[in-house]
Amino acid sequence: MVLADLGRRINNAVSEVTRSNVVDQSVVDTMLKEISNALMEADVDIKLVIQLRKKLKGKIEAEEEKPGVNKKKIIQKAVFDELCDLVDVKEAEVFKPKKKQTNVIMFVGLQGAGKTTTCTKLAVYYQRRGFKVGMVCADTFRAGAFDQLKQNATKARIPYFGSYTESDPVKVAHEGVEKFKKEKFEIIIVDTSGRHRQEEELFKEMVEIGEAVKPNQTIMVLDASIGQAAEAQARAFKESSNFGAIILTKMDGHAKGGGAISAVAASKTPIVFIGTGEHIHDLESFTAKQFVSKLLGIGDIQGLMEHVKTLNLDQNDSIKNFQEGKFTLRDLQSQMNNILKMGPLSKIAQMLPGGIGDMMNQVGEEETSKRFKRMICIMDSMTKTELDSDGSLFIDEPSRIIRVARGSGTSVTEVEAVLLQRNMFARMAQTTKNMQQNMPPGMGKN
Ligand code: GDP
């Protein structure tokens, strides 16, 4: 079962409850059973599933006793929270590289896990955020490793360092890091060699490279398709290389991804990114809330806004408005402009509520991009007052819709679609605001 199916099944189970006229014990039990089955089929450890079911049941029962509660809302929120809990590593401190100083990031992992590919993805990720990034190939074990890194780095225009002649990986790693340090690189990513199995030799080499380059952060790259076995592999590596974070690769379309994430969470090491494809941009930062939002297809506007923030794009007041539960047509226009500037639309579209994500899946990237531009064009034809409104004045005076359609060379249906899209964003804004207000301090503010 791929993750999208898991999300769909959980959603269906919860929808059954919200559709029922009476929410009694048997309706809740059926939902709990279906959610548990879906999670187990997605390779989540049975002990974790039993635990989640018990907690969920307890939470729903405790909440329903309070006077005046909306039982359906409580169930929806409890499911969301418990799923977050399942994949969340609490108390973990996540490393954040600082500008204007050297941050060395060392990668470890088994051969084939996706280390070299992920090094380049992470380099590109930080480069897009204004860091000066270099990559060092300390894999002298596998023939062709340097060529692979070189090829990836050249394609992504990232400076690299490696050697065809030196066979000592510790020496190459040290030289590379020193060279980039002298040239005031802010992030230096060191790719180390992998092995087919967890061998003594490999662990010894990792320790030596670690001592030579003194990484600020060591990241273990783990293939998500191994599912629950991820926990044991992470533990074996942890004994020798004290890594602080994990990147799970091959999360695209893998049935066992859910199992890998919950297994890693149980091992108390934070997952910082997930790899979702072979392309250079197929890397997504990971937080439990964003992951669960996406899994359940409820959009992740908060994540999108944060994404926009790190890219230093046009902000206006959109983020502030969104956090206050407002969303005008102008906000929609500015966010759409940002989205077009942000690169691969497919990654971004998944963060959006209903309409756009579906559009992306149905008509593909190019067509979605075209439709986006038409929507922006529609908003360009609106007056200042219209743009700063919630769109209700179009409903009061439908002639405005006709005027805008004519002015932008589009159709009435397309203008209406823009208004609908704003409504969806506004609803998301309101939900996010409500959720944050209902949560204890510190939660819900990714
Ligand atoms: P390394 O031996 O650990 O350095 O692994 P590589 O970087 O050479 O990757 C091994 C294979 O996995 C390559 O074919 C990559 O294209 C592929 N790969 C890496 N990350 C992902 C991912 O997130 N999704 C998919 N589908 N393939 C990936």
Distance 158 CA to ligand 1 centre (A): 18
DSSP code per residue over 19-59: H-SS--HHHHHHHHHHHHHHHHHTT--HHHHHHHHHHHHHH
State whether CATH 1.20.120.140 applies to domain 3-87: yes
State whether CATH 3.40.50.300 applies to domain 103-295: yes
> What sign does the CA torsion over 309, 315, 320, 321 have?
negative
Distance 275 CA to ligand 1 centre (A): 9
Beta carbons of 142 and 111 less than 8 angstroms apart: yes
Please tell me the distance from the alpha carbon of residue 322 to that of residue 106, in angstroms, as a whole number.
37
Q: Where in the chain is the domain with CATH 3.40.50.300?
A: 103-295
Distance 386 CA to ligand 1 centre (A): 48
Quick one: pLDDT at residue 442?
A: 32
Quick one: pLDDT at residue 358?
A: 65
User: What is the best residue among 106, 110, 117 to mutate for testing ligand 1's pocket, by most ligand atoms within 8 Å of CB?
Assistant: 117
How would you classify the pairing of strands 133-138 and 187-192?
A: parallel
| CATH superfamily label, 301-438 | Signal recognition particle, SRP54 subunit, M-domain (1.10.260.30)
Q: Which ligand 1 atom lies nearest to the CA of residue 276?
A: 23
**Residue type (1 letter), 435:** M
Scanning 267-353, the segments in alpha helix (DSSP H) are 288-295, 301-310, 318-323, 329-341, 345-349
Distance 114 CA to ligand 1 centre (A): 4
Distance 362 CA to ligand 1 centre (A): 27
The tens place of each residue's pLDDT in the chain, 446 residues long, gives 567 788 888 888 888 888 888 778 888 899 999 999 989 988 888 989 999 999 999 988 887 777 777 777 788 888 888 888 888 877 667 788 999 999 999 999 888 899 999 999 999 999 988 899 999 999 988 878 999 999 999 999 999 999 999 989 999 999 999 999 999 999 999 999 876 555 777 788 888 999 999 999 999 999 998 888 888 888 888 877 778 899 999 988 777 888 888 888 877 888 999 998 898 888 888 888 878 877 776 655 556 666 656 665 555 566 667 667 777 888 888 777 777 766 555 566 666 655 566 666 677 777 877 888 889 899 999 999 999 999 999 999 999 999 999 999 999 999 998 998 888 878 777 766 665 554 433 333 33
* Closest protein CA for atom 5 of ligand 1: 114
